[in-house]
Amino acid sequence: MLAVEKYSIKMYNILGEVMDKNKVTVEIFGETYALKGDMDPERVKRLARIVDEQMKIVANGNHRLPAARVAVLAAMNFCDDYLKLETDYQDLLGILKDE
């Protein structure tokens, strides 16, 4: 889980405890974020690159959108991908169960 505090994002576990083992700085859509958490820094950088790429794709479709709307539309795209993968996963589980 993430929370934003003046461009500093803290990662939280499911119990709401701050995880501050690793620190990494990333840039997403022209903004710099200092991140803290127990994730591998290279994974965090990869996640940031993916988010940045998705936001740029959305922004290229409409150059007049404010960054907040670009972020929401990018999040919608990520959620759509997630739901498709979840459906595929459930279908595969069903196939394996039938065998």
Q: What is the reported pLDDT for 26?
A: 94
**Average pLDDT of the segment spanning 80-97:** 95
Which one, of 14, 15, 5, 67, lies nearest residue 36 by Cα?
A: 5
Per-residue model confidence as pLDDT tens digits over 1-41? 444 444 455 666 666 666 557 788 999 999 999 887 777 88
Per-residue model confidence as pLDDT tens digits over 69-88? 999 999 999 999 999 999 99
pTM for the whole structure: 0.75
Dihedral angle, C-alpha 86, 90, 92, 98, nearest 10 °:
180
Q: ∠ at Cα 77 (59, 37), nearest 5°? A: 95
CA separation for the pair 16, 62 (Å, rounded): 37
Parse the chain into domains and list their residue ranges.
2-98
